[in-house]
Chains A and B, each alone.
Chain A
Amino acid sequence: MSVQIVKQGIMDTLQDKGRYGFQHIGIPPCGYLDYLSAQLSNVIVGNPIDAPIFELHFPASSFIFKEDQTICISGANFVPVLKDKSVAMNTAIHVCKNDTLHFMQPLLGKTCYLAIKGNIDSSLWLNSKSDFIAQIKTNDQFNIIAWDADINKNNTLVDQKLESSIIDKVQKHIFNSNEIRFIPGPQWNDLSTESISNILKQPFYTSLNSNRMGYQLKGPSLQLMEEKTYLSSAVTRGTMQLLPNGELIVLMANHQTIGGYANIGQIILVDLPKLVQHKSDTLFHLNLTNVATAHSEYKQMQQWFS
């Protein structure tokens, strides 16, 4: 079984849950940008929740399937078309040998996932298949390997089992919210009073200058109380750094492991997919939350998939 890239997109990669344990030597964690949509797609197709998956941005790659396969498309809606027919999102779809899949237009969101039932064969580097620099390219071919019996036993096709209400909940959480929550960071108190008030009251939108390393935010110009430099410390996905030009950048999966800009807060993990999917034409607000809320919502959402 295999799948081939007919035509490459601009920024499509293979991703899994990421590469941990090597940030102390400067290796970024990588992994899914919108992990909730990726997990949803994997569960719908009957894969382990953290299986490797194709992550697509518009204009996205086109695919041809070399055998019959089961696939699922989740996350951003780029209007997927299978053999000239539009197909549904967040549903297990049976594809036949030589079927082609392409994406027409970026209708909703920014990052789309294509899950294929089985394990996408690609080289494992430091316990992960996540692409760091590489992208998927025209004519690349990936074998799809059936899960061995043990895994399969616990991960039979769960399309029927995953209630549609859960799919709705995930979709609404990611796409129907203009509130993104964060926990104040080490340099939050170095912000001017006016900047703190502006962060919490004024709307923001994502700059076109956003990618797997970080999303730049447009909004009120922010300042520190006094000019200050910081010794670099570790940053993480969701870290909100204040750039010298007064703008915020939120670090994403391919972030540098340490940073020297003011760390004013961290977007909580459950709200990161919302930011990932926010296009520059929609506004959102940044609101404060705390660790307990972030943990309880994270655990609750992971429960949805189990």
Chain B
Amino acid sequence: MTKIFSNFNWNVQTLGDHAIQFYLPPIMDPRVIGEIKNFNDFIVAAAAKGIKDIIPSYHSLTLIYDIELMNTPLDLANDLIEKYKNQREINLPNKELNKIIDVPVCYDEIFGIDLISMSSKLNLSITEIIKIHTQNIYQVYCLGFMPGFAYMGDVNTKIQMARHPQPRQNVSAGSVGIAGAQTGIYPMHSPGGWQIIGRTPLKIFDKDPKVLSKFKMGDQIKFYSITRAEFETLNQNELK
């Protein structure tokens, strides 16, 4: 068990009449995510009455509450910050934090439908784009957009590309995309504007309540390249 001292300075604001938001300075940084994960776990464990949802994001943690069960939300918020600070030493579940989830991706152009145009715009060969995308270990900053969609970063500046100005009507489930410094996987068919570079055969979101999202905030992800044949085999296994 690693112990660290938390020196982040949490602020809190109300968000309308049924939410409160804790926040840190708005920076996209894995250390901030580590801190948000700590505070998130602390609040989950505190299990305050009337909290319906606890939603982490890049630099904030938002609590949705039931008005009838919550008389003074800001008092509760300040109380939680105090107790968290007084805890001083935070128990880091380091096992989990250091775990890397390996994700197979087939970067065939049939799946990576934006690879050719990216290659010419970025002045890199497709092989180089794949090499760069599979080099980094990515951090899951948060989930949103649709069930199980994980925003991961940071993408090497050499292969960063803006979203398409007009989103596609239909992006296939499993598609792996890039949007600026972020990378992510579409868990299901949906409209989407990210630059698509490949597809994973893995099921990213499963309706089974025991499974649900493959990723959670704070996870570390490493992509590795697979062939079409390996994709088909793995995909068959996933569908079973």
Contact = CB atoms under 8 A, between A and B. Distances in A.
B142 A258 contact: yes
Given A24-B143, A256-B144, A298 B17 contact: yes
Contacts of A231: 26-28, 57-59
Interface of A is mostly: mixed
Contact of A232 (B13, B151, B207): B151
A236 B213 contact: no
Interface string A223-253: 0000000111110101100000000000000
Contact of B148 (A21, A26, A183, A302): A26
A21 B57 CA distance: 15
Given A257-B143, A291-B14, A186 B67 contact: no
Contacts of A60: none
Interface of B: 13-19, 21, 23, 26-28, 40, 52-60, 62, 64, 67-68, 73, 142-149, 151, 207, 209, 212-213, 216-217
24 contacts: A20-B52, A25-B212, A25-B216, A183-B17, A186-B13, A186-B23, A231-B28, A231-B58, A232-B57, A233-B23, A234-B15, A236-B18, A236-B62, A236-B64, A239-B16, A256-B144, A258-B144, A258-B145, A266-B17, A268-B17, A269-B67, A291-B73, A295-B67, A298-B67
Give the 10 A-B residue pairs with the shortest CB-CB distance, closest first: A266-B16, A234-B62, A294-B17, A258-B144, A234-B55, A20-B52, A25-B213, A231-B58, A26-B143, A23-B53
A126 interface: yes
A126 B209 CA distance: 7
Contacts, number: 128
A256 B145 contact: yes
A81 to B, nearest CB: 37
A222 interface: no
A261 to B, nearest CB: 13
B52 A183 contact: no
Contacts of A299: 67-68
A257 B14 contact: no
Contacts of B23: 186, 233
A22 interface: yes
Interface in A249-273: 256-259, 263, 265-269
Nearest to B25: A231
A29 interface: yes
B59 A236 contact: no
A125 B146 CA distance: 16
A260 B73 CA distance: 24
Interface of A: 20-29, 125-126, 182-183, 185-186, 230-234, 236, 238-239, 256-259, 263, 265-269, 291, 294-295, 298-299, 302
A232 B61 CA distance: 11
Given A186-B21, A232-B58, A26 B16 contact: no
A302 B67 CA distance: 10
Contact of B17 (A28, A126, A263, A269): A269
Contacts of A24: 40, 53-56, 143, 216-217
A299 B69 CA distance: 10
B17 A291 contact: yes
A26 B149 contact: yes
Contacts of B209: 125-126
Nearest to A289: B17
B172 to A, nearest CB: 17
A230 B67 CA distance: 28
A27 B14 contact: no
Contacts of A257: 55, 143-144
A26 B147 contact: yes
A25 B28 CA distance: 19
A25 B21 contact: no
Nearest to A182: B16
Nearest to B149: A26
B221 to A, nearest CB: 15
Contacts of A239: 15-16
A17 to B, nearest CB: 10
A166 B15 CA distance: 30
